[in-house]
Amino acid sequence: MMNVLVTGCCGYIGSHTCVELLENNYNVIGLDNFSNSKRDVLGKIENIVNKKIKFYEGDMLDKDILNKIFLENKIDLVVDFAAYKSVGDSVAKPIDYYVNNVSSVLTLLQVMKEYNVKNLIFSSSATVYGNPSVLPITEECEVGGTTNPYGTSKLYVEGILKDLYASDNSWNIIIFRYFNPIGAHKSGLIGEEPNGIPANLMPYICKVATGELECLRVFGDDYNTKDGTGVRDYIHIMDLARAHINGIEKLKNSNGGLFIYNLGTGKGYSVMDIIHTFEKVNGLTIKYKVVERRSGDIDSCYADASKALKDLKWSTQYDLADMCRDAYDYVNKIK
């Protein structure tokens, strides 16, 4: 059985991916420092699948804990989710972001190299495309033009991985560029739980729905889109999580390579589409008002996801109604 080290295993994407990995009979070795997650997520993952995770509490910047993990386990492959992800925070704290999102990956890569483990899946983001000039976005589109340190940290790591592969073609790496993951596992046990006031659309809508927040601010209705509000490619978290299984299969059948895939549905939905679908499937009204644009936001961003379909035989199964229903189910359960 393959041993997969999942860094950031208790976070939003990590926890859902652990469920998929365990259900697909991978052994999961997890690392997290709980900087943006809660310890009880571990037990919840284990309850969903009725299997155990071998967990290490620690920081990916700490070479000693990584050495310990690789010494105590025969790691076959690493899926790296450990990073900070708040765009706004990254502008205020660029050093913290570059250290946590770039230096930590270098530490991981050093240890992987020492133990001759060269299979890696790295979590990148559609943000590396900056303001795309062509839609839908293919993997061939130019990257760069990021507008905040968070986005730039992902761009830097992608560059590091490309250099690493160029230096040694036996590295076997997938870079996944996630679009906008939302929703939750159907059990309602795990989901997205940002600290404080959410910066992202779906968690904010959920808090308006539960009454914790008064009113959604729609950031601008004068974008060059069908209704003037921003268009994004929202993808159900379980579709995103499942893509990692397809990714591992790809790496198993490859002796070395650097593969880049967009993970999105290929469909763009506006802020108004999200509000209306959320209202319809959950049978309630979301109070909103249109305010100024948020700085750094773009009109539209959605994927051409055909490369992942062709190469990984992966495509999405859930639609926007599923995403809105599952996101709300989760916040209701934890309320």
Which residues are designated catalytic?
150
For position 83 contacting ligand NAD by CB under 6 A, the verdict is yes
What type of residue is 55?
F
Cα-Cα-Cα-Cα torsion 175, 180, 186, 191, nearest 10 degrees, comes to 90
For position 90 contacting ligand NAD by CB under 6 A, the verdict is no
Burial of 147 (0-12, 13-18, 19+ CB in 10 A): middle
For position 219 contacting ligand UFG by CB under 6 A, the verdict is yes
Give the range of 8-16, 48-56, 141-149, 224-232 binding ligand NAD by CB under 6 A: 8-16
Tokens of 237: 């978290």
| Cβ–Cβ under 8 Å, residues 300 and 260 | no
Give the range of 3-11, 40-48, 112-120, 175-183 binding ligand UFG by CB under 6 A: 175-183
**From ligand UFG, ligand NAD, none, interface partner of 37 (C-beta below 5 to 8 A by class):** ligand NAD
CB nearer to ligand UFG: give 199 or 286. 199
Spatial separation of the C-alpha atoms in residues 45 and 48, rounded to whole Å: 5
Burial 76-111, CB ≥16 within 10 A → b, else e: bbbbbbbbbbbbebbeeeeeebbebbbebbebbbeb
For position 109 contacting ligand NAD by CB under 6 A, the verdict is no
For position 266 contacting ligand UFG by CB under 6 A, the verdict is no
Burial 28-55, CB ≥16 within 10 A → b, else e: bbbbbbeebbeeebbebbbebbebebeb
**Shortest distance in whole angstroms from residue 109 CB to ligand UFG:** 22
CB nearer to ligand NAD: give 125 or 282. 125
The site for ligand NAD, by CB under 6 A, has a size of 28
**Applying CB under 6 A, which residues contact ligand UFG?**
85, 87, 125-127, 151, 178-180, 199-201, 204, 216-219, 230, 232, 271, 294, 297
